[in-house]
Structure 1
Amino acid sequence: MALPLLNSLEDCADFSKAVKPYIPQLYALPEKLLDVFAGRESLLKLYTETNPLISGFAISVALGAVFLVVAEINRNYSQVDRCWSLLPTVYIAHFDAWARLTGLPTRRLDVALLFSAIWSTRLTYNYWRKGGYGIGHEDYRWQVALTSRMKEIVRQHVPKAVFHVFNWTFISFIQSILLFLIAAPAYTVLLASTIEPQLTSADLAYMAIELGLVLTEYIADEQQWTYQSAKKQYKESGKVTRGFKQAELDRGFITSGLWAYSRHPNFAAEQSIWFLLYQWSCYATKTLYNWAGVGPAFLILLFQGSTWLTELITSGKYPEYRTPAPKAPKVIRTSELAKRQQEKEKQQKQK
């Protein structure tokens, strides 16, 4: 069977029961795909008879190989970035489609897919308007021939041979697998739906919070886009866009709106979105934690490294961006306090 026979919601989050028995399917998958290509087996049959977590993981590994080949041929290391906004939704849609094809309840997965589709729409649009899908466009972290500052950060500390290994492992494969893992909690929700298929008010609450986080990202992106557009116009024409002050544009980075409370409100919301999906799976299985938290946890670690690099680049471009060092507290000695008290009493006597 492609799914385990589980007796409780807690079993749905048990790795030894929900995942481990199907790992051998991953090893057998290449041979079965050869049978499909040879016409000895139906692709639809193979799809429905393979555990959806295993087939989803296999797809992420195959895509990693594609990203690697395309990146090395074009010397462009942003191939995963072009698909980042789409793949998590594709994987959730994969779980939803598999459940439909096998006759399982999909209401809870439908709700998860709805929020994820909206998330994909927002992020894809934002990436597109920044030129992310243009020919030759590269994420600034991996670029080779932009500013000397960026080149220094990436290339000075990473030899060319090591950077290729970095592409073969982390950039192409690990990131591709990560995009599957952050969507993997949907598998746990799928299993829980076989026991409790009904859509609950808590499921709707999770979706509402997810949509609220997506809205937060949208607002942050719009504020950043408006500011950067005004800054660009100011640099080109010297004209200050209405709603801004010259000092704001001279500073070089935004400090208003959501950006007044966080330097990276969009980053914070992005991490929260996928951590909340994991928490959703915990709620669905009535567990405090489960194996599906690996993906969101790794995503948070990835963001820490990415944020550090972003801070390093930005603080190098804009001196005001550096956090000022806290002032040392003034130490008042006991003798000074006594002296002040004596002076105060002397003044009172003179009056």
Structure 2
Amino acid sequence: MDTPTSLSESPFAYPLSLCLFSTLATYIASVLTSNVSQVDRLWTFLPTIYTAYFALTPLWPKTPTTIGGIWIPIVPFVPANLEAQLPRDAAGSITFSHRALLLLTLITLWMCRLSYNTFRRGLFSLADEDYRWAVLRRQFDERFGPSGGKVVFQIVNLTFIAATQNVLLMALGWPAYLAVTQSKMDGNKFINTDYPLATWALGILFIEFTSDNQQFVYQTYKHTFLARVKENPESEAHAYALRTASAVAWPFASPIDYLKLSPADARRGFVTSGLWGFSRHPNFACEQTFWWLMCAVPVYAGSLGTVKAAIIGTPDNKAFSWDGITTAVAGFIEWLFNVIRASSPSHEHTFASSADRLVHFMPAIALSILFVSSTAYTEAISSSKYPVSYTAYQKRVAMFGSVPLLGLFPMLLPVMTFFGWRRSLEIVDEPVKVLLEYSSMKGLWWRFTTNDVEKKRVEGLVWGDPVAPEMKDVNGQ
């Protein structure tokens, strides 16, 4: 590949120019509107756009689009330095990368989930701003004074809110670039690791959607109950709030059957049931895991050498068999150990060294750093609002936990179909709860280091009807 002599010749010409344009546009819009959540409204779309650029390279022109001799940097094109790395068909024409299209499909589903959740929470409204920025403004004003606080906040706005987040969103297109360039080397075929990783990612999206919906159902119940109970008996307010919340509940988020909401939950102020009983932020845990899996698809391609053949048979043996499933599960477990040990994948065209793989996981690493830091800040706000009950929640439940393991459930679909869905859910209900509890370091530490008196006190605050100072404020009394 020739060394680019200008931005327009770089393989990343379009992503970089779009990132720069988006950074400037969101920053200018935030200044004009005094609302710094402009980039939040693009968060649902930009990773898909960057992924689509690489996955759909055969559709783009080979030269930059110009108007009056001026390059229009946000219009996609395929520079020569990228074209040289793309897969080709037998006729020598650029063709689609199957693995990149797989990533595009998964990330498009991710976009639909996030866009739906953002829309129904009203966050696409141009007037809406993340509540944390108002808190940060106030903290800066208190520390640096009104004038100094505004200056410091605008520095944060430009460098982090606009620039850093846009760069991170661009980086989430990196797995698609790896998949496209990898396809030229591996014959543009699906590799065996593509199947379990994609299946897990689909499961992760379902679990994340469920956690989002459980949160939305809880908030609907809480606000309805607290508004209704001011002028009505508690039992009537509770029944009305349950009906209202049930109307917006998707499967596995019923306020009656799954969340089991009560007036105590509304008075507490935050949800602690359902998936939120095993993770303080199950949606954030799933979000991070999803992007780790997106990075893993091209990085670990080929390290599960026998699973595809085990499941669907070899050319001489096309029949599906339970022996094949057993072999596949064993192979999948072996692959997981390979990932943990960072051993070299067996496929010759994947990235061989641990250092190489670490570099290619940088988008996921950066995203996790962002989530850990922003979640810590969010929890500091929650702890100040609910100093007793939220502190107990932090002590009892992990920040992220092992909820993403539930995303593996699609691999059990053959078994669940055999036993029946309802019966299967009944069978796995308690084992899954035990798994989530004991696969979390927080759960293990709590179980074996906390005395019974403290357990009763903390769990009463988390899942009971605690009498705490903030409860009166939440209930408006």
TM-score, normalization by structure 2:
0.56
The one-character-per-residue Cα deviations of 1:36-64 (angstroms, maximum 9, x if unpaired) are: xxxxxxxxxxxxxx444332122112210
Residues 242-253 of structure 1 correspond to what in structure 2 (within 5 A)? 242=242, 243=256, 244-253=261-270
In structure 2, the residue matched to 1:223 is 214
The answer as to whether partners of 1:99 and 1:190 remain within 8 angstroms in 2 is no
Q: Deviations over 1:300-329 (max 9, x none)?
A: 111111101110111122230113779998
Cα pair 2:52 2:104 within 8 Å, conserved: yes
Offset, 1:174: 1.3
- Other structure's SS at 2:108 match: helix
In the TM superposition, what are the counterparts of 1:151-190 in structure 2 within 5 Å?
A: 152-153=138-139, 155-157=141-143, 159-190=149-180
Distance of 2:48 and 2:11 partners within structure 1: 15
Which residue identity is paired with 2:374?
A: S
User: Cα–Cα, structure 1 residues 115 and 270, in superposed 2: closer, same or farther, change >3 Å?
Assistant: same
Deviations 1:220-254 (A, max 9, x none): 00111111100011011121134221112111111
Candidates 73, 92, 95, aligned match of 1:104: 95
Counterpart check, 1:261 vs 2:278: yes
Distance 2:287 2:31 in 1: 29
Inter-CA distance 292–22: structure 2 relative to 1 (3 Å threshold)? farther
1:1-351 matched pairs, under 5 angstroms: 4=1, 22=3, 24-26=5-7, 29=8, 50-101=9-60, 103-143=94-134, 152-153=138-139, 155-157=141-143, 159-196=149-186, 197-238=188-229, 239-240=237-238, 241-242=241-242, 243=256, 244-284=261-301, 285-287=350-352, 288=354, 289-319=357-387, 320-323=389-392
Q: Which has the higher contact order (CA 8 A, sep 6+)?
A: 1
Q: Is the 8 A contact 2:122 2:128 kept in 1?
A: yes
Structure 2: which 5+ residue stretches go unaligned? 61-82, 84-93, 230-236, 243-255, 302-349, 396-445, 452-477
Deviation at 1:201, TM superposition (A): 3.3
User: Amino acid of the residue matched to residue 281 of structure 1?
Assistant: P
CA contact (8 A) 2:197 2:296 kept: no
1:250 & 1:207 partners in 2: Cα distance? 40
SS of structure 2 residue aligned to 1:142: helix
User: Judging changes above 3 Å, is the alpha-carbon distance between structure 1 residues 22 and 181 closer, same or farther for their aligned structure 2 residues?
Assistant: farther
Deviation, 1:292, is 2.8
1:150 Cα deviation after fit: 6.6
AA at the equivalent of 1:59? L
What is the CA distance between 1:117 and its match in structure 2? 0.4
CA shift at 1:200, angstroms? 2.7
Unmatched 5+ stretches in structure 1: 5-20, 30-49, 144-148, 330-351
The alpha carbon displacement at 1:168 in A equals 1.4
CA distance in 2, matches of 1:277, 1:70: 31
For 1:173 and 1:22, the matched residues in 2 are separated by 26
Q: Which amino acid aligns with 1:107?
A: H
Return 121-130 or 272-281, whichever deviates more.
Answer: 272-281
Contact 1:53 1:187 in 2 (8 A): no
**Which has the larger share of helix?**
1
Any idea what the Cα deviations from partners look like across 1:141-185, whole Å, max 9, x if unmatched? 223xxxxx6754464356211111111111111111110112212
Percent identity, please: 31
Secondary structure of the residue that 1:161 maps to in structure 2?
Answer: helix
Deviation, 1:278, is 1.4
User: Quick check: 2:4–2:10 contact (8 Å CA) kept in 1?
Assistant: no
Which SS does the other structure have where 1:141 is aligned? helix
RMSD: 2.3
Partner Cα distance (2:286, 2:155) in 1: 31
Q: 1:22 to 1:120 in 2, by over 3 A?
A: farther
Bigger drift between 246-255 and 80-89 goes to 246-255
Q: CA deviation at 1:68?
A: 1.0
Larger Cα-atom Rg: 1
CA distance in structure 1 between the aligned counterparts of 2:216 and 2:450, rounded to whole angstroms: 38
Structure 1 residues 107 and 135: CA distance shift in structure 2, 3 A: same
Q: Which amino acid is 1:318 matched to?
A: Y
Change (3 A) 1:154 1:23: farther
Q: Which residue identity lines up with residue 260 of structure 1 in the other structure?
A: G
Pair 1:290–1:24, CA change in 2 (3 A): farther
- Tell me, in whole angstroms, the C-alpha distance in 2 between the residues paired with 1:328 and 1:204: 42
8 A contact 2:137–2:153 mirrored in 1 = no
Are the aligned partners of 1:71 and 1:79 in contact in 2 as well (CA < 8 Å)? Answer: yes
Deviations 1:168-215 (A, max 9, x none): 111111111110112212111111011110123321222111111111
* Alpha carbons of structure 1 residues 51 and 217: separation in structure 2 relative to 1, 3 Å: same
Q: Is the 8 A contact 2:56 2:96 kept in 1?
A: no
Alignment length (residue pairs)? 284
